[in-house]
Amino acid sequence: MKSSNQEQIKTLLFNYRDALNESDVEKVLSLYTENGIFMPSGAPTSIGQEKVESAYKFVFGNIQLNIEFYIDEIEIVEAYAFVRSTSKGSTLIRATGETVAEENREIFVLKKEAGSWKIDRYMFNKMS
């Protein structure tokens, strides 16, 4: 059961990575719980689908990500999972056309709802 959960969690995180790289707000939202919380580095906390949607629209309007996730740790406690990861790649800044290196560390709190893992809380910060 645990390894099955870990595989489902890895799939969720790689789906999230793909949604980020595709700048796909709807796909991102489908991976969050209804009351999910997004806590980006250097920006306000967004709580709930409407605020999370606005935050990602803002992010994707300003940058285009090209990143890869590296999962460092998955801890599962009943209907919750805690994931520690890093990401590395590049970011295209739309306003200038400049591409810069992107490297972050992340913490995800996931919640299992109706048999599926979803992002309940997500926070990241820059490593460099």
Count: domains in the chain: 1
> Does the pLDDT of residue 1 top 70, yes or no?
no
Kindly tell me the burial class for residue 119, based on how many C-beta atoms sit within 10 Å of its own C-beta (0-12, 13-18, 19 or more). buried
Summarised one tens digit per residue, pLDDT across range 49-83 is 999 999 999 999 999 999 999 999 999 999 999 99
Confidence at 2, pLDDT banded by 50, 70, 90: low
The one-letter amino acid code at 121 reads R
What angle (nearest 5°) sits at the alpha carbon of residue 27, between those of residues 2 and 54? 120
Token readout for 92 is: 């295209």
Instruction: Report pTM.
Output: 0.94
Domain containing 70 equals 2-126
Q: How far is CA 28 from the centre of its chain?
A: 8
Contact status, residue 60 vs residue 52, Cβ threshold 8 Å: no
Q: In this structure, what token pair is assigned to residue 104?
A: 């972050």
Length of the chain as a residue count? 128
pLDDT of 53: 98
**What is the CATH number for 24?**
3.10.450.50
Mean pLDDT computed over every residue of the chain:
96
Distance between CA 30 and CA 78 in Å, rounded?
22
